Amino acid sequence: MNSGQAPLANAAAPPASRPDADVHARLQASQYREAFALLLPRYRDKVFRLSFSMLRNHSLAEDATQDIFLRVWRALPGYNAQAALSTWIYAISKNACLSELRKRRPLVSMDADDEFDGELAALGSIDADDSATVSVTQLLEQLPERYRQAVTLFYMEDQSYEQTAALLDMPLGTVKAMLHRARKKLIELTRETASA
Amino acid sequence: MTPMSPTESHDFDWSEQLLSWLDGDLDAAAAAAFTAHSAGCPRCQQQLRTLAALDVKLQAALPRISLDENFDHAVYARIDAMDESQRRAARQRAEQELQDNLRSLSSSWRRTLGLVIPGVIAGIALALALTGFLNDAGVAQATAQGAQGLGSALAGTLPLLLTGLVGATIGGIVARWLIAE
C-alpha cells in the first residue's frame, strides 16, 4: 500500500494532485470496502442534489441516492478507471434517475410539476412580499427541463459553474450559456407576469 | 425584417455583458466599459436590481440540501444485507454441489459394483469351462505331473490357482468393457 495515501479519516478531502487518487489506490488493491468508505461521504450530497434536480422530490431523491450507491458498490470491482470516478458515478446516477422517472411517469405525470413546486416551496422559505410577481418556483416551472435542472444544481452547488458542469457532464461554457439564458428567461417571465 | 426598438437594441448590446460582468467573466477593459455604461444607464441598473433580487429568491428556493451520516448507515445496512444474502446463496450453492458430487460418486460405485460382480462371475464360469476343456485335452494332467516335482501340496492347489487367476483376468476384462460401455 502506498504510504503517501490519505487516511480513511480524511475521506471527504481527496488529495489535490489527482482527484480520487486514494480511491483508485484502494481499488487497485481490491480493497472495495475501503474505497467505498472514501467515496460515499465525498459524493453523497452531490448525487443527492443531482437526483433531486431530476426527480424533483426530496424523499424520492433520497431513496434514489441509496439505490445509486448500491449500484456503485456492486459495480465497483468492474470500474476500470477509463473515465473519472466522478463522471462514472454521475453517469450511474443519471441512468438510475432516468429509470426511476420512466417507472413513475405514467403514474405521476399529471402531478409531478405541482409536486416539484411544493417541494421547492418546502425546501426554502420564499419571500412572498413581492405581490406583483409570482413565486420564483412558478417561474422555474416555466423553464425548459434542461435549464431548470441547471438552475437547480447551480444554486444547490453554491453557485459553482464548475460543479454544475461536472454534475451535468457538460462543458463549462455550455453551462454558463444555459444559465445566462435561464436567467434572462426568468427576468422576461418576471416582467410578463408583472405587466399582466 | 422589423428594426429593433431602442430597448431591444440596448439589450442586444449589453445584456450578455451584464451577465458576464456579474459572473466576473469580463476582462479588465470590457468590465471597465460595462461599469462606465451601467453607471449612467437606468435600464442596466434596473436589470442588475432584478437579477440581484432573482438571485436572492433562487438561493432561498434552492438551498444546499444534504444528507447526514444516518444515510450512510442505511446504505451500509443494505450493502451488508445484500452481501449476507450473496454469501448465503454461495453457501447453498456449495452445499448443493457437494451433495450432487456425493450422489454422483455413490451412483458411480453402485454402477461399478453392479458390473464388476457379474463380470467376475462370468469370467470364473469361462475359466471353469476352459479348465474342463484342458482336462479333456490332457493338458491338466501334464501340468499336475510337472507340479508334483515342486511338492505334493502345490500339486493339489495349482489347478485351482490357475483357474482363479484365469477367471479373475477374464472377469476384469469383461467388467472393464462393460463399464466403458
The structure's pTM equals: 0.64
Is the predicted pLDDT of residue A23 greater than 90, yes or no? yes
CB-based contact, A127 to chain B, within 8 Å? yes
CB environment A4-31: b (16+ within 10 A), e (fewer): ebbeeeebeebeeeeebbbbbbbbeeee
Query: Does A111 or A181 have the greater pLDDT score?
Result: A181
Separation between Cα atoms, residue A85 and residue B41, nearest integer Å? 48
Task: Summarize pLDDT for A85-102 with one digit per residue, the tens.
Answer: 999 999 999 999 999 998
Q: How many CB atoms lie within 10 A of CB A170?
A: 16
Cβ-defined contact of B65 to A176 (cutoff 8 Å): no
Is the CB of residue A160 less than 8 Å from the CB of residue A135? Answer: no
Q: Is the pLDDT of residue A6 over 50?
A: no
- Asked whether the beta carbons of residue A183 and residue B72 sit closer than 8 angstroms, the reply is no
Minimal Cα–Cα distance from A77 to chain B, Å?
14
Nearest residue, CB atoms, A70 vs list B16, B25, B78: B78
In this predicted model, which residue has the larger pLDDT, B151 or B46?
A: B46
User: How would residue A72 be classed by pLDDT, with cut points 50, 70 and 90?
Assistant: very high
Phi, psi of B3 (to 5 degrees): -70, 150
Question: How does pLDDT run across B72-122, given as a tens digit for each residue?
Answer: 999 999 999 988 888 888 888 888 888 888 888 888 788 777 777 777 787
Long-range contacts of B101-106 (CB under 8 A, 24+ apart): none
Residue type at position B111: R
B65 to A120: CB separation less than 8 angstroms, yes or no: no
Cell numbers that stand for A138 in this block? 412558478
Q: Which three cell numbers stand for residue A160?
A: 459553482
Residue A106 confidence (pLDDT): 62
A39 or B60, which is more confident?
A39
Q: Is A176 on the interface with B (CB under 8 A)?
A: yes
Min Cα separation B175/chain A (Å): 52
- Tell me which residues of chain A, numbers 23 to 62, contact chain B at a CB-CB cutoff of 8 Å: 36, 40-41, 44-45, 48-49, 52, 58, 62
Sequence-separated (6 or more) residues with CB below 8 Å from residue B31: B21
Q: What is the DSSP letter of A100?
A: H
The whole-number pLDDT of residue A192 equals 82
What is the crossing angle of helices B69-137 and A58-75, to 10°? 40
Q: Which of A183, A186, A190 to mutate to test the interface with B (most CBs of B within 10 A)?
A: A183
pLDDT in tens, B31-87: 999 999 999 998 888 888 888 888 888 888 888 899 988 999 999 999 999 888 888
Q: Does A156 touch chain B (CB under 8 A)?
A: yes
- CB within 8 Å: A69 and B74: no
pLDDT of residue A25: 94
How many angstroms separate the first and last alpha carbons of chain A?
67
Q: What distance in Å separates the CA atoms of residue B122 and residue B171, rounded to the nearest whole number?
A: 6
Q: Is A12 an interface residue toward B (CB < 8 Å)?
A: no
**pLDDT at res. A44:** 96
Average pLDDT over chain A, rounded to whole? 81
Q: What is the pLDDT of residues A116-125, one digit of tens each?
A: 555 555 554 3
Residues of A in contact with B16 (CB under 8 A): 180
**What's residue A45's pLDDT?**
95
Q: What is the ipTM of this complex?
A: 0.74
Taking one residue from A and the other from B, the number of pairs with CB-CB distance under 8 angstroms is 97
